A and B are shown apart, each in its own frame.
Chain A
Amino acid sequence: MRILRYERILFVFAALICVALASCKSEKTIIEETPPMTEQAVEKFTITETEAGKVKMVLESESAIINEDTQKAFLRLPRVKFYQDGKYASTLITESADINLETYDIAGHGKCTIDTVNNEHLQTTNLGYDAKKKIVFSKTDVTLTRDGDTVYGKGFEADTKLDKIVIKKQKIIINKNN
């Protein structure tokens, strides 16, 4: 009777070991099955966005790391030229940025500047570009210089030619023309 009990314990013990080995093996296979992330590094990266046959935006970047999965690219020192009705409107420069390769929305990081065809200069940080609405915006401190006047604020939204700008908590310094 005692021998029977030992055999049963031995059998259960052996079964447990088999199960443990099997799960380890499957874990290993899971690791092997994850497909490698497909990233592609590109030097001198350029994108042109058109609308109704007219150029809307031309982006040039020193380098770009394109992520096929997320359809995004991380850009270093991008320079974006905006056009309105095919005419040059302004140039946006940021330290780095992420661009959505499907919508062309841009999220600028660090210091961002916009210089317009009308000699206006806007400086802010973490600027965004909404391609569908054709607007640029930020929630951080912003400085706009135009015709000798300076406007300071916190947060802004504007079309890409800075024709119509809304600046929050503004402070405008107007210099007299004597």
Chain B
Amino acid sequence: AAQKISQQTVITGDSMEVRRSGDVTVSKGNSKAVNGNNVITSDNMIYNKKNSLLEASGRVKIVSVVNTKEPLEAYSSFAEYDINTEKGKLWGAKTNVKYFLSGSSAPVVLKAQEIYFNGGLETLSAFKDVEIITSSGTIFSDKAVYNKKDDTITMEKDGESLKRPTADIYYDGRKAFYEADKMIFHASSDSKKIIMTGGVSGKMEMEDKIQ
């Protein structure tokens, strides 16, 4: 069911300055905003009442706990977040999202220069130098869309870009490198699967030690 958008946002911090000119509220030091299932923390925040936009800067962290067993954590230097629509954008150095699958020791990490998200971080669209790092391999792409409802990450070319998604995969002593027009990575708590379509090519190294 569509997630109910919370009616209130609470912002706290060390000190706050309210300016009339743009209905702007500047929160300085240990800023934190709680909006429904999303908790945003950062060094500083600016809230603009006119467009309901929250701008966070400095050690930004967003934690979304729609499902307590599988929290999603996003990190970046900058973030924008519309408290009405719960949509936003992350960018700046080390922008990444960690998705903790229940039952899995290591999280799935999505890295990119820009990551757009909607309410509860349920849908993430990542662009520019995208990397999906899992315990069994890394996928590189210019564009990736993560959809929490069906636990999939879809990678494909970004518009006219020539760069196709590539995957470095390693498990049970096998190493493989693939390239394709489109890759869909299924990450759920009990299985991980990747489906490649469109001009799939690549190579695999298999080594079985003779007992």
Binding site for B on A (CB under 8 A): 118, 144, 146-147, 149, 151, 153, 161-178
Contacts and interface: CB of A to CB of B under 8 A. Distances in A.
Interface stretch (B12-20, B66-74, B123-131, B162-170): B12-20
Contact of B16 (A146, A153, A175, A178): A153
A169 B15 contact: yes
B12 A170 contact: yes
A146 B20 CA distance: 11
Interface stretch (B2-10, B55-63, B95-103, B107-115): B2-10
Contacts of B7: 175-176, 178
B138 interface: no
Contacts of A172: 10-12, 16, 25, 27, 47
B49 interface: yes
Nearest to A170: B16
5 contacts: A162-B18, A164-B18, A167-B18, A170-B13, A171-B12
Nearest to B20: A163
Most buried by B among A163, A165, A174: A174
A165 B12 contact: no
A72 to B, nearest CB: 32
Contact of A173 (B8, B14, B18, B20): B8
A168 B84 CA distance: 26
A168 B18 CA distance: 11
Contacts of B84: 176-178
Given A172-B25, A175-B7, A151 B18 contact: yes
Given A174-B83, A176-B8, A177-B52, A167 B15 contact: yes
Interface residues of B, number: 25
Given A147-B49, A149-B49, A164 B9 contact: no
Contact of A164 (B6, B12, B15, B19): B19
Interface in B1-58: 5-21, 23, 25, 27, 47, 49, 52
Interface of B: 5-21, 23, 25, 27, 47, 49, 52, 83-84
A167 to B, nearest CB: 5
A92 B78 CA distance: 40
B118 to A, nearest CB: 16
Given A163-B19, A165-B17, A167-B16, A176 B5 contact: yes
B19 A174 contact: no
Contacts of A176: 5-9, 52, 83-84
Contacts of B8: 173-176
Contact of B11 (A168, A171, A175): A171
Contact of A170 (B15, B19, B23, B83): B15
Nearest to A174: B9
A168 B10 CA distance: 15
A171 B27 CA distance: 10
Contacts of B49: 147, 149, 174
Contact of B10 (A163, A169, A171): A171
Ranked 4 nearest A-B pairs via Cβ: A170-B16, A163-B20, A172-B11, A174-B9
